[in-house]
Amino acid sequence: MKRLVLVLLVIVTSCFPAFVAAQSKSRTPDPKFGGTYRRPLANNPSTLDPAHIADIYGFTVSQQLFDGLVQYDASLAIVPALAQSWKGSRDGMQWTFYLRKGVKFHNGREMTAQDVVYSFTRILDPKIGSKAAEVFLKVKGARDFVEGKKNVVEGLRALDRYTLEIELVEASAPFVSSLAMGYIKIVPSEAVEEFGPAFGSHPVGTGPFKFVSWKPGEHIILGANKEYWSEGPFLDQLEYRIFPGAAMSKMFASFESGELEDTFIPSEALEAVQSGTKYQFVRRPTLGTRFLGVNTSHGPLSNPMVRQALVFGIDREALVREFHKNRYKVAQSLLPPGTYGYDPEFRPFPFDPQRARALLAKAGYPGGKGLPVLQLWSSVRPPDIEREHEGIKRYLAEIGVQLELQYHTNWPSFNAQVYAGKYDLFRYSWTADVPEPDNFLYRLFHSQSRNNMTRYRQARVDRLLDTARAEQAYLPRLDLYRQAERLIIEDAPIIPLSHLSYDRLFQPYVRSIEVNALGDPYIPMRKIWLAK
Task: Give the pLDDT confidence of 50-109 residue by residue, as tens digits.
Answer: 999 978 899 999 999 999 999 999 888 899 999 999 999 988 899 999 999 999 999 999
Mean pLDDT across the chain = 91
pLDDT for 17 equals 38
- Helices first, then strands: H and E counts in the chain: 16, 19
What DSSP string describes 163-218? EEEEEBSS--TTHHHHTTSTT-----HHHHHHHGGGGGGS---SSSEEEEEEETTT
Averaged pLDDT for residues 124-146 = 92
Which domains, from first to last, does the chain contain?
36-65+207-279+528-532 (3.40.190.10), 67-188 (3.90.76.10), 284-501 (3.10.105.10)
Predicted structure pTM score: 0.81
> Does 519 score more than 90 pLDDT?
no
Instruction: Provide, rounded to the nearest whole percent, the portion of the chain with pLDDT above 70.
Output: 94
Distance CA 230, CA 207 (A): 9
Instruction: Provide, rounded to the nearest whole percent, the portion of the chain with pLDDT above 90.
Output: 74
* C-alpha 7: how far from chain center: 27
pLDDT tens figures, 281-291: 998 888 999 99
pLDDT tens figures, 330-372: 999 999 988 888 888 999 999 999 999 999 999 999 999 999 9
pLDDT bucket at 173, cuts 50 / 70 / 90: low
82 neighbors 186 (Cβ within 8 angstroms): yes
Q: What Cα–Cα distance (Å) separates residue 23 from each residue in 2, 253, 264, 503?
A: 37, 22, 18, 15
Q: What Cα–Cα distance (Å) separates residue 211 from each residue in 103, 192, 194, 232?
A: 17, 14, 16, 16
> Does 5 score more than 60 pLDDT?
no
pLDDT for 13 equals 37
